[in-house]
Homo-oligomer: A and B are copies of this chain.
Amino acid sequence: MPTDVEHACFEAGIKFGSLYHQFAGTPVSPDSAESIGRAMAEAIENQPHCADVAVDVRTDRIADELASQSADYTELTGRFLDVEMRVEYADVTVRTAMEMKDDYPLMKLVSVED
């Protein structure tokens, strides 16, 4: 049988995959960044064992992208997102984050405390 630590890490991964693939592709601009960030956090916090989600939709990076294109909005993708989550399962606390690793938005397991 998987342990509580293993279950906790699995649950933490589910939340990250859910957050990313539910919202990737959403039309986003600097003006709408705050509302989508809040909605992402509150939506994923509904999921079981999800204690806290913080999403910062990076208006600076969106503005940089818009400076080089003709449309005045773009699509939400990993390089516009700073995300931190805390999952609690039984007595285990798992912290995760998304950060850029070279050109790839890496979902990262930060710490597991039992």
A44 to chain B minimum Cβ distance, whole angstroms, is 7
Chain B residues within 8 Å of A46, by CB = 27-29, 32, 72-73
The answer to whether the Cβ of A24 comes within 8 Å of any Cβ in the partner chain is yes
Q: Are A102 and B70 in contact (CB under 8 A)?
A: yes
Q: Mark A61-83, 1 if CB is under 8 A from B, else 0.
A: 00000000111110101000000
So how many copies of this chain end up in the complex?
Answer: 4
Q: Mark A7-36, 1 if CB is under 8 A from B, else 0.
A: 101111111111111111111110110011
The complex places the Cα of A44 from the Cα of B31 at a distance, in Å, of: 12
Interchain residue pairs A-B with the least CB separation, the first 10 = A13-B13, A17-B17, A24-B25, A39-B39, A17-B18, A9-B9, A46-B73, A32-B42, A21-B22, A27-B46
